[in-house]
Amino acid sequence: MIRTILFALLLLFLFDRCAQQVSPTGGKKDSIPPNLVESNPLNKTLNFKGKKVELFFDEYVVVDNINQKLVITPEADNPYSYKQNGMSVLLSFKNEFKDSTTFTLNFGDAIRDFAEKNPAKNLKIVFSTGSSLDSGRVYGTLKDMQTGRPLFDALVGLYNISDTLDITKQKPYYFSRTDSSGVFSIENIQTRAYKLIAIDDKNRNMLFNAKDERMGFLEESVTAGVDSVSYNISMFLSDNTPIKIQRTIPKVNNYSVVFNKPVERVNVTFMNKDTLPYLLEAGGSLKFFNVEPHPDSTLVKLTAIDSLGTSADFEQKIAFQQQRGKDRQRDAFSLTTLPEPNRPLENTFTYKLILNKPVRSLDDKNITLITDSLSHEPLSSFQWSWNANHNIATITAKSFAKDSIKWDIPKGTIVSVEGDTLPKTFLKHPVLNEEDYGIIKGRVVNPDTASNYIVELVDEQYKMVKVKEGTTYTFSQVPQGKYFLRVTVDRNRNHRWDTGDMSKNRQPEPILYLKDKIILKANFELNDINITINEKSK
């Protein structure tokens, strides 16, 4: 009997333990931002004479770097302090606001919820110290010029018109940011003339960084509340900072002159009888190579030219480091090709061997094109030539291969100016099968005879696949896929797209996109894929 009672009590104990409720762990993450429920003054208050602004939210909030993120327009020289109190934030200003003026306090993402730090969205307060609110408005859309796509969260500003306007140092008088459709609207602004400028503002400091931020502008001034039009602005990269030598890197084997920005070309003039091999590397670095014999230093004159066509002249002394051992430490000698390895080739093709150093010698009798197990043709049997810096060999060749085209480059056949040799290299490409590809044909409609036209076929990542100049085009051997067609209006006929320069009030050359995406299937031909030039783009 006692054993039965003890067993029953044990079962009750275990059942009680199993039935206990435990609070669930984790839970859905709070992604809802704090909402403004009241403010003092109320939004759009008139005749405001106070020096305090208080915001009340529906949950506990924290303040994040408000001194940097809160933007007051028009810009007011009025210092303030802030106090965070649970579900409210109080701003106390030192002075009263300027009379008869409409002010906008835009908080950006400076106020966030306490739990998950979600920022309050579109948080701004508008009030007037006069008897009416300024009602001027400027609106429109932004798009990227190279892709035609709308830009999100770009800064669109209205600037006071001035001969000394410098957007790298001056913030806009009024501003707005674009939504996901690239749309902007600047409201409650004084009715007068402004300069309208848009910038990427990636670091959100409201200043233009020419090195990596896009910008766009209108040539003529705009008048808020008078011009009832939607402004369309195209954004582009335009680094108009002066070219400078940022630093030099002397080594035993080479000497690099590094510019502060990418340059398209550098003209080099040696000031004495000595000469040195050199080449311009990607990213704006001009490298000279140490070739014996040479003096302790070599004086050169450099003329660097950027993508805007701006040039700068420098005199530079090239002085290599002294060698401290028997062996030199060389950078690796490497090769790339165009087309890249494993890309299909036609039987008649143009090919480029691209070396990272100027070449001293190339044995074109021992570099061979292999078309089958028995056919080995030396490079010397084809037409080929060097570029000016002797690091790119362009080859025009013909093969009778059925399956693959191969280049055999034995060790020792290519030697750099530093004396090192390219290791044995074997390059292979399949022979292009026309049935695996398609054709796209079309023309430029309504062209301007004074301009040249650059027609590009680009993929879904906007990488250029094919290019043709003129008003008609045929793109053959195009892989199956989805594409866009864009046309650059080459107004100065220099065979490239030229960016704009706001300091000269010069817009970039227009780039137009075909509205519809092109879908191409293998072994198909698409005709009359035309793009029309409007009068404004001529």
Q: Is domain 435-537 annotated with CATH 3.40.605.10? A: no
Separation in Å, CA 534 to CA 172, 399, 446, 500, 517? 32, 45, 7, 20, 20
CA distance 486 to 457: 7
At residue 522, the pLDDT reads 95
At residue 292, the pLDDT reads 73
In terms of Cβ atoms closer than 10 Å to its own Cβ (0-12, 13-18, 19+), residue 127 is buried
At residue 327, the pLDDT reads 65
Residues making up the chain, counted from first to last = 538
Map out the domains of the chain as residue ranges: 36-128, 136-237, 245-318, 335-432, 435-537
Whether the Cβ atoms of residue 255 and residue 287 lie closer than 8 Å to each other? yes
Superfamily of domain 136-237: Immunoglobulins (2.60.40.10)
Q: Which residues of 406-423 are buried (b: 16+ CB within 10 A; e: fewer)?
A: bbbbbeebbbbbbebebe
CA distance 37 to 59: 10
Partner residues linked to 232 by β-bridges: 141
**H helix and E strand count, the chain:** 2, 43
At residue 305, the pLDDT reads 92
Which helix or strand (DSSP H or E) is residue 429 part of? strand 425-430
Out of 2.60.40.1220, 3.20.20.450, 1.10.620.20, 3.90.1150.10, which CATH number does the structure's domain 245-318 have?
A: 2.60.40.1220
Sequence-ordered list of residues with C-beta below 8 angstroms from that of 508, at least 6 positions apart, any chain: 145, 234, 236, 238, 497, 498, 499, 500
In terms of Cβ atoms closer than 10 Å to its own Cβ (0-12, 13-18, 19+), residue 374 is exposed
Output the CATH code of domain 36-128: 2.60.40.1220
Which helix or strand (DSSP H or E) is residue 475 part of? strand 472-479
Closest of 299, 303, 301 to residue 319, by C-alpha: 299
At residue 15, the pLDDT reads 43
Q: How confident is the prediction along the chain (538 residues), in pLDDT tens digits per residue?
A: 445 444 444 444 444 444 444 434 455 566 789 999 999 999 999 999 999 999 999 999 999 999 888 888 887 789 999 999 999 999 999 999 999 999 999 898 899 999 899 999 889 999 999 999 998 899 999 999 999 999 998 999 999 998 889 999 998 988 888 989 999 998 888 888 999 999 999 888 889 998 889 999 999 999 887 667 899 999 999 888 899 999 999 988 899 999 999 898 999 999 987 889 999 998 789 999 988 767 778 999 999 998 888 899 999 999 998 877 666 678 899 999 999 989 999 989 999 999 999 999 999 999 999 987 678 899 999 999 999 999 999 999 998 888 899 999 999 999 999 889 999 999 999 999 989 999 999 999 999 999 999 999 999 999 999 999 999 999 999 999 999 999 999 999 999 999 998 988 999 999 999 989 999 999 999 999 999 998 888 8
φ/ψ bin of 509: left (φ > 0), alpha (ψ from -120 to 50), beta (otherwise): beta
Domains 136-237 and 435-537 agree in fold: yes
Output the CATH code of domain 335-432: 2.60.40.1220
Which amino acid does the sequence have at 398? K
Which residue has 């090769």 as its token pair?
A: 335
Give me the DSSP letters along 327-384.
Answer: S--PPPP-EEEESPTT--B-SEEEEEEEESS-EEEE-TTTSEEESSSS-EEEGGGSEE
φ/ψ bin of 234: left (φ > 0), alpha (ψ from -120 to 50), beta (otherwise): beta
Q: What is the DSSP letter of 296?
A: S
235-294 per-position pLDDT tens digit: 999 888 899 999 999 988 899 999 999 898 999 999 987 889 999 998 789 999 988 767
Sequence-ordered list of residues with C-beta below 8 angstroms from that of 328, at least 6 positions apart, any chain: 252, 253, 418
At residue 389, the pLDDT reads 93
At residue 445, the pLDDT reads 95
CA angle at 454 for the pair 452 and 455, rounded to the nearest 5°: 135
At residue 227, the pLDDT reads 66
CA distance 177 to 174: 11
Q: Rounded to 5 degrees, what are φ and ψ at 107?
A: -90, -5
At residue 10, the pLDDT reads 47
CA distance 299 to 285: 17
Q: What is the pTM of this model?
A: 0.78
Closest of 185, 204, 197, 281 to residue 236, by C-alpha: 197
At residue 11, the pLDDT reads 46
CA distance 401 to 390: 30
At residue 239, the pLDDT reads 87
Q: What's the alpha-carbon Rg for the chain, to the nearest Å?
A: 33
316-332 per-position pLDDT tens digit: 999 998 877 666 678 89
